[in-house]
Amino acid sequence: MQQARNDAGKGPRRLSVLSGLWPFLRPYRVRIALAFVLLCVASGTILLVPLAFRDLIDFGFGAQSREAAGQGLLGALSLNGHFVALFGLAFLWALAVAMRYYTVSWVGERATADLRNAVYARVLSQSPQFFETLQTGEVLSRLTGDTTLIQTVVGSSISMGLRSLFQFIGGMIMLAVTSFYLFSLNLVLMVLLVLPIMVIGRKVRRLSRESQDRIADTSALAGEILNAMPTVQACTQEQEEARRYSDRTETSFVTAIRRTRVRAALTALIITAVMGTIIFVLWIGARQVHDGLMTGGELASFVLYAALVAGGVGTMAEVWGDVMRAAGATERLLDLLHAESAIREQDEPQQPAPAAQVGIRLDHVVFAYPGRPQVRALDDISLDIRPGERVALVGPSGAGKTSLFQLLLRYYDVTGGSVLINGQDIRQLSLHDLRKDIAIVPQDPVIFSANALENIRYGRMDATDEEVMQAARAALVDEFIGRLPEGYQTFLGERGTRLSGGQRQRIAIARAILKHARLLLLDEATSALDAESEILVQQGLNAAMEGRTTLIIAHRLATVQKVDRIVVMEGGRVVETGTPEDLRKQGGLYSRLAALQLDL
């Protein structure tokens, strides 16, 4: 993934990556075919328009109109008839363009929505290891920015490009047919002019990429700072941050203006080149008309075809830039879409054993985080936890307690040994079955931007309002919910910023109680509560632990005096196990910690 990200920013994009979009377009192939037919109709119609003009001039106004009646595209039509036919062509063209626009945009929107959903679902199935190397901001920018780019290309650029290609090829053929002499002249001039335009065009592309990178820098800075506002204000860095931001916007302004300057020059050059060519050819053509070598109508249609060809070339150049950018965007999205989770599920997972309670067995478990493979976070841990047992994990910070929880939830796989639940290796179970059976109250609970009721219901989506409130009462949530303006319906704000740490913890406890899982993991579940609430919440937790196997990580030993067993960890190893009383008598690490905490 890291490698792919590094590659994404450099070198010419491989256009073949665009074929990766086909699975998202295939379901809509009938509509795509319809759009193609409409495109052909529109292009055909527009190529007929100059011919209609030619006839109008030669047979409609001209002196020879009467004798020549019966020739030309529109045959023997009267002057009025010519105009009606011309309008008919314009209307057919408009209709085809509108229908194609609708169809193609529909396919673009639909395919991008599908792609976005597929990528998002894929990202959600990744293990935490994935998010260690990829920033969430980057995933978001891929989901929005990159998919929008693809939408532009699928929903408009490609059809614009094809239309221009038809226009170009058809126009060139018609130019040659109308006057081969003028066509050859035109061709030589075009080749001479296209070269400098291409060189400048490349410079514009480089500058616009640079300009986009600068804008991304600005948003990255703003994103980081806005997320850290309390710290910024506590350190009184607001002015400094405003200055840093304005420095970056200034840089992106300067880059944008540099690009605009080159682009303005390019526009002037293109207009001069196109108009110059047309005027030059008109001049030569006018002399030919004067000498009777071609008719006025032929000259008029020639000029119109030349304008179509020039327009076609211009659009194709623009579309080419979009297609290249979309190739880059597709590559980045497909990277995400094809990312394999580090945690692999069995093709045919076992069903979890249908026992009322779960027993856990850690068998010589060794574990090192993938980001730090040389350091063992857990080093040869063997532990048996009986069904229904309450076990506390204690030990200094960094001992590996949380890592043990991560392994039980299978956020990571063990490096050696195995984790068994009711005798089954957890790698044999599906992740869904495994995690459905575990309720966790994490150190730093997450609150979603929804109301209190929905936040608790997240533990078990099919719970009734009454069940949710019961869990809330057990976790003492109702004690503070009652004081919120709209009770359970109160919106808890972005990331729960409207709640205190202790309140957030109680919501998480209610969520865990509601889940009714057979295994309960408490990671410092009451650390943010005051002494009084802690005693009350502990009662709620006691109710939740009833009949459940429970693992409790605790720094404050007072909270785990009633557990069945304490496991003391240090440096990734289990150094002591036993009841609180036994351990105090042993005079080891636990008794030292207990002496510091409990006897003071």
Ligand X SMILES: Nc1ncnc2c1ncn2[C@@H]1O[C@H](COP(=O)(O)OP(=O)(O)OP(=O)(O)O)[C@@H](O)[C@H]1O
Residues found near ligand X in the complex (CB under 6 A): 132, 369, 371-372, 377, 397-403
Contacts of range 458-466, beta carbons closer than 8 Å, 24 or more positions apart: 458/511, 459/510, 459/511, 459/512, 459/513, 459/514, 459/515, 460/514, 460/515, 460/516, 463/514
Would you say 266 and 321 are in contact if contact means Cβ atoms under 8 Å apart?
no
- Smaller CB separation from ligand X, 402 or 505: 402
Least distance from C-beta 312 to ligand X, angstroms? 55
Pick from 558, 409, 542, 419: which is nearest to 474 by CA?
542
Least distance from C-beta 268 to ligand X, angstroms? 56
Least distance from C-beta 566 to ligand X, angstroms? 14
Question: Would you state the structure tokens that stand for residue 69, as one six-digit string?
Answer: 């009646």
- Smaller CB separation from ligand X, 9 or 398: 398
Would you say 42 and 97 are in contact if contact means Cβ atoms under 8 Å apart?
yes
- Smaller CB separation from ligand X, 514 or 519: 519
Q: How far is CA 84 from the centre of its chain?
A: 51
**CA distances (Å), 28 to each of 31, 47, 95, 108, in order?**
5, 29, 22, 10
Question: Would you state the structure tokens that stand for residue 29, as one six-digit string?
Answer: 């192939």
- Smaller CB separation from ligand X, 43 or 559: 559
Please name the amino acid found at residue 78.
S
Would you say 513 and 458 are in contact if contact means Cβ atoms under 8 Å apart?
no
Secondary structure element (H or E) that encloses residue 440, with its range: strand 438-441
Least distance from C-beta 339 to ligand X, angstroms? 18
Pick from 108, 209, 107, 106: which is nearest to 150 by CA?
108
**CA distances (Å), 434 to each of 129, 364, 426, 589, in order?**
19, 21, 7, 33
Least distance from C-beta 111 to ligand X, angstroms? 36
Half-sphere exposure of 489 (CA within 13 A, CB side): 2
Least distance from C-beta 159 to ligand X, angstroms? 47
Half-sphere exposure of 530 (CA within 13 A, CB side): 4
Least distance from C-beta 369 to ligand X, angstroms? 3
Least distance from C-beta 560 to ligand X, angstroms? 14
| d(C-alpha 461, C-alpha 454), whole Å | 9
- Smaller CB separation from ligand X, 142 or 401: 401
Sheet holding 424-425, edge to edge: 378-385, 360-367, 416-421, 424-425
- Smaller CB separation from ligand X, 212 or 406: 406
- Smaller CB separation from ligand X, 132 or 582: 132
- Report CA torsion sign: 488, 491, 494, 497: negative
- Smaller CB separation from ligand X, 143 or 362: 362
Least distance from C-beta 197 to ligand X, angstroms? 53
Secondary structure element (H or E) that encloses residue 138, with its range: helix 136-141
Least distance from C-beta 555 to ligand X, angstroms? 6
- Smaller CB separation from ligand X, 399 or 568: 399
| d(C-alpha 453, C-alpha 463), whole Å | 11
Sheet holding 519-523, edge to edge: 438-441, 519-523, 549-553, 390-394, 565-570, 573-578
- The 10 Å Cβ neighbour count of residue 9 is 10
- Smaller CB separation from ligand X, 401 or 518: 401
Angle at 117 between CA 115 and CA 118, to 5 degrees: 65
Least distance from C-beta 402 to ligand X, angstroms? 3
Least distance from C-beta 522 to ligand X, angstroms? 13
| d(C-alpha 311, C-alpha 314), whole Å | 5
- Smaller CB separation from ligand X, 31 or 573: 573
- Smaller CB separation from ligand X, 129 or 211: 129
